[in-house]
Each structure stands twice: as structure tokens, then as C-alpha cells.
Structure 1
Amino acid sequence: MAGKEFFTLPEIDQVADAIRSRTQYRPRVGLILGSGLGDLANAVTKADVIPYEDLPYWPVSTVPGHAGRLVIGLLENQPVIVMQGRVHYYEGYSMQEITLPVRAMQRLGVELIIITNAAGAIHPDYLPGDVMLITDQINMIGMAGLSPLRGPNLDEMGERFPDMSQAYDRKLIEQVRAIAAHQDIHLREGVYACLAGPSFESPADLRFLRTIGADAVGMSTVPEVIVARHGKTRVVGFSGISNKANLDGSTTTSHEEVLQAGQLIVPKLKTLILGILRSLE
């Protein structure tokens, strides 16, 4: 499948207008839900639901555990737009297609994006079912040249060379720490590395990633965060740890394992996300 490499601002606005025509809400917060975490969308009340295939240019999920629809409604009385499932580079989409939903959210007026993913542990202490607050990221795909900002810069959205020194909002990180402590949630923290996939990492891959400072690894999130920050949208990110570090090759990893871990992760994530929404001014 040949992906569309670049989107113009009128094309992005066409997507945003199609969403506006299907809902009375004007979402303030966007949520992107990763593999096995889509049940979080069930907490949205008075929801309008839009299948991805109903929207122009919108990439459609092909992976189990990604429902492939927008859920727009209220969470803690905050208007939210929830992506119940995302797409990935390995599915054959371009980097700009992967991040088109973030652009559409920005044009809808979203101020904050909460990004979640299912990730494999690299840190030896992290266990399946843990939630890791993402404090920084390693852009392995982008280092190889696959940036969602490649091509003509959308000057109306952001500057050509956006700063990534605080990709994840420092104030929100502090709020999440306080929420976790108050709710007695054992919160991990660390650096998320994004690889292209779809194969899971070899033990040598994992040892290399550990050496350069990664605590968890997955196949998403980083391109979305880059585009969010290009447009000055605040970001908070969570990795649901789906499998233990396999640094010596003694175990195998499956997608089913990833989805099962989501059942342990969702209640913790829901508590943290609702806490964030309650704390918004």
C-alpha cells in the first residue's frame, strides 16, 4: 500500500470539518489508545462514535486490539476525543498518515493529548501489568530519516525545527506522580524507544536499547508526540508494560500476551487519566 506522503492544511481541515459535522462536542483533550487498551473508551459518556473509514484520508487500523473508531464525548465532564486504536508505520502507512489524527485534533482545538501504548519491558525490574509514565523518548525510526515532519513545513502549525527537550509536559508529569501516590498506584517512569516493527525485538536489540538508556520499547507514539509538540500541543504519555524484558532470549513474546496484559493495565490507566482530567483548570 503506497502511503500519502504529505498533507496540506486544507486537507487536514477537511478531516477536522468531517469530524465537526458528526458531533456537537468541541473536544479539549485527545486520547490515543494502544493495543489492548481500547476499553478505556467505554468510560466516555453521551458519546458520538465515528468509524475511521467514514473520515477522509484517515488511516484505518488493521491490527487486533485496535477497534478503529473515534469516540467523542465526556470524561469527568471534560469534552474528549478518543482514538480507539491507532495505526503504525509497519502497516504500510506513511509517517504523515500515522500522525494525521494528531493534526486533525489540533485543528479541532485540542489542548492536551494523552498517549498510551503497549510496550515491552527493557528495564529488568519492570513487569507485565505495570504502567510506565513516559519521561522522554528515543526516536529510532526518525534517526533513520523517517520523520513525520519531513517535507514542506506547515508554518501555520509550527516552526521548521521544533524543540524536543521537553516532549512530555513537565507539569503534567508532576501531576501524574501526585495522582499515582494518592491512589496508591505503583507507577514506573522511564524512556520509551520507538522501533518500526512489526517483529518483536531480538535479545541483542534489547541489550542495545538498554545500553542507550531505554526502559521500554514499542512501535508507536514517538511520531505522534513529535507532531503534537510541533503544533505546541501538551503531551502526557503512558506505556502499559505487556511483557518482561527478554535480554537473554529465554522467552518468546506474542501479540496475545500484549492484549492480555491490557486487562491489568486498563484500570490503573483509567484512574490516572481521570485524575488528569479532574486536575485541568
Structure 2
Amino acid sequence: MQRNENHLNVNAITNGEFSFEKVKEIADWLLDRVDIRPKVGIVCGSGLGGLGDRLVGTKVFPYAEVPNFPKSTVVGHKGNLIFGFLDSTPVVCMQGRFHAYEGYSNALCTMPMKVFKLLGVESVILTCAAGGINQSFEVGDIMLIKDHIAPLLWTLQNPLVGHNDDRFGPRFPAVNRIYTKAYRDQFRKIAEEKNLKILEGVYSSLGGPCYETVSELRGLLQLGADAVGMSTAHEALVASYCGLKVLAIALITNKAIIEYDSENFPNHEEVIETANERAKDLEELVCRFVAKVELESIDLNNNLV
């Protein structure tokens, strides 16, 4: 019996910092200071923070000012939480996300998804920069994420490990339909209207901060991955666990190196440069998506109704 009690105590400690009450304190602090009640949450990846600048009627909270909120330390992540409107839709936008390679646990990296839920958010849009593993992908391509491969989430680094609070979501969530198909279909239709090519594929999330070895990339390719990055999958997991609908978009900012004798080297500067070049197209598509899609009109089979 003693062994079981100790086990429960360890689990309670694992997620104690991110209990329902702690997360509610953050959400309540924000709601006390802004009149906007967001229905959509947006997370901006590397070089894609301009989405936040498109909001109108905004109230900006630097992460450093929000109690118990992490701080973003990566170049290309502005570190602001912005409330405002896209068209007439109330939105909260994260200009910058949190990564395990910054020294944060995956539970902390995904805590904003729980904050979103308690703010009243119903749908999340996740954007990220990614390397193209699929050899048909080109730098600058936009890929809708239909599924993910996230080796770190197979271990005790899964952000759902530890004490579970049913007010967030179930102890054993199904994860085969994390990414809302109806949203992908609608986003693709909007892109076609703008004559923009949209790809769809499987995203793989690794921990970083180093880029992947050739052997790792070849292995991911064999597993069915089309693109690779250092974020997003764990956020999508927790958002879905919290009952939020998910649209995730990867901008292919570099081609993954799968040849052992290649003399090319990936670098963050290349990622930011490509993101800046394609940011306007992606921002425009996201804005049109938020304005046009009926975000609440999704049936149990993830179809627009």
C-alpha cells in the first residue's frame, strides 16, 4: 500500500505546477484585464509572428507580465499574448511558443493550450517552421498537418503524464483524429481560391535544439514523416485532449539532409529568412480561414455542417 501512495504522490508532483487551479489563475488574470472573449487561439511559429499584427482592437500582454507564464527565448518569437479580432472573430494569439530545448518541460510548453480552454477558446491554429523530409517538397511550401510522429511523446516526456484532471480532459484520450479534417479541407479550398499550392502530410516532432542526423531523417522518412520540426505535436495533443479543434500548418523552410556526403548544413537563419518570405501568404490564408469558416459548425465526425 505504501508503494501505491508514493506512486500517487510522484504523479501529483509531476503535474502539480499545472493544476486546474493554477491554470485558472492565469486565465482569470487575463480575463480580468481584457473584455475580449476569444473563440480561436493562434500560435505563431518561427518568423510567423506577423499574424498577431493583423489583429485589430488589440490588448497586448508580454509573456513576462503574465503571472506564472513561461518566457520565450528564441529568435523570431516576440513573446506576446495578443487579444483582438480577425474580421469579427475574437482571437487570442501567441507571438512565440515554448520549446523543450529552452529547458522547459513538455507539460509547461503545452500549458497555454489549457489556458486557451479556460479562456473559452474552441479552436486552435498552430503554425510552425519545418524541414522537408519528403523529397518532393520545396522550400517555401505550405503543408497542412494531418498526423504526427513524436518519439518524445512515447516516453514519460508526454505532457499528459502525471495526475489527470477530468476538467481538462480524459485520462486516456484517443489521438487518431487530433487534426480536424474539416478544417484542412476548408483551408485548402481557401488556398485554391488564391491559386496557392497546399500540401498535406505527416509532421515529426523531435526535441532539438540540434538539427537531425542523416540516419534519424532516413528513419523518419521510412516511418512516413513528410516534415520535421521541434514543436507543435505536443501542443496539438494537449489541445485535442482539452476538447479543442485543431488546424496545424507547417511552412517548409529548409530541405532536410538525407545524404551522408552532403556538404550543406541547416541553420536557423535560413529558417527565419524563408518564413519571412512566405509569411504574408500564410498570414493571409489564416485570416481568410478564420473569417470564412464556421468554427462552431463541426459534427461528431469532424465534418462541416
TM-score by length of 2: 0.89
Shift of 1:22: 2.3
Mapped pair 1:265 → 2:278: yes
Whether 2:113 is the aligned partner of 1:102: answer yes
Output the amino acid matched with 1:258: V
Secondary structure of residue in 2 paired with 1:223: helix
Q: Deviations over 1:116-159 (max 9, x none)?
A: 01101101111121111111111211113311101011111111
Contact 1:168 1:237 in 2 (8 A): yes
Q: Could you tell me how far apart the structure 1 residues matched to 2:236 and 2:248 are?
A: 9
Structure with higher Rg: it is 2
Query: Which one of 191, 200, 211 corresponds to residue 180 of structure 1?
Result: 191
Residues in 2 aligned to 1:256 and 1:5: alpha-carbon distance in whole angstroms = 36
Q: Deviations over 1:21-43 (max 9, x none)?
A: 22110011000001111112111
Structure 1 segment 107-118 matched on structure 2, within 5 A:
107-118=118-129
SS at match of 1:252: coil
Partners of 1:265 and 1:210 lie apart in 2 by 25
1:229 aligns with 2:229: no
Q: Is the 8 A contact 1:22 1:50 kept in 2?
A: no
Aligned to 1:20: 31
Q: Which moved more, 1:54-63 or 1:104-113?
A: 54-63
Of 134, 151, 168, the match for 2:179: 168
Q: Contact 1:5–1:95 (CA<8 Å) still a contact in 2?
A: no
How many Å separate the matches in 2 of 1:22 and 1:266? 30
**1:205-224, aligned counterparts within 5 Å?**
205-224=216-235
Q: Whole-Å Cα distance in 1 between the matches of residues 197 and 57 of structure 2?
A: 32
Q: Report the count of equivalent residues.
A: 278
The letter of the residue matching 2:293 is: L
CA apart distance, 1:275: 2.1
Give 5+ residue unaligned stretches, structure 2.
1-12, 295-305
Q: Find out whether 1:31 has 2:42 as its counterpart.
A: yes
Distance in 1 between the 2:155 and 2:19 partners? 24
Q: Which residue in 1 is equivalent to 2:303? A: none
Q: 2: CA distance between counterparts of 1:245 and 1:200?
A: 9
Query: Given residue 213 of structure 2, which amino acid in structure 1 is its aligned partner?
Result: S
Aligned partners of 1:48 and 1:72 also within 8 Å: yes
Partners of 1:144 and 1:29 in 2: how far apart? 30
Structure-to-structure mapping, 1:98-177, within 5 angstroms: 98-177=109-188
* Residue 235 (structure 1) shift: 0.2
- Correspondence list, 1:34-113, <5 A: 34-113=45-124
Cα deviations across residues 72-97 of structure 1 (Å, max 9, x unaligned)? 10111111000000010111111111
TM-score by length of structure 1 reads 0.96
Read off the aligned partner of 1:132 and give its amino acid letter: M
Report the Cα offset of residue 19 of structure 1: 1.1
- Is contact 1:5–1:97 with CA below 8 Å preserved after alignment? no
Amino acid of the residue matched to residue 254 of structure 1? N
- Which stretches of structure 1, 4 residues or longer, exceed 4 Å deviation after superposition? none
Amino acid at match of 1:272: L
Specify the code of the residue in structure 1 equivalent to 2:268. H
How far apart are the structure 1 equivalents of 2:174 and 2:248? 17
CA contact (8 A) 2:14 2:163 kept: no
After TM superposition, give the deviation of residue 5 of structure 1 in Å: 4.1
Partners of 1:136 and 1:268 lie apart in 2 by 23
Q: Aligned to 1:59, what secondary structure does the other structure show?
A: coil
Q: 8 Å contact 2:50–2:283 — kept in the other structure?
A: no
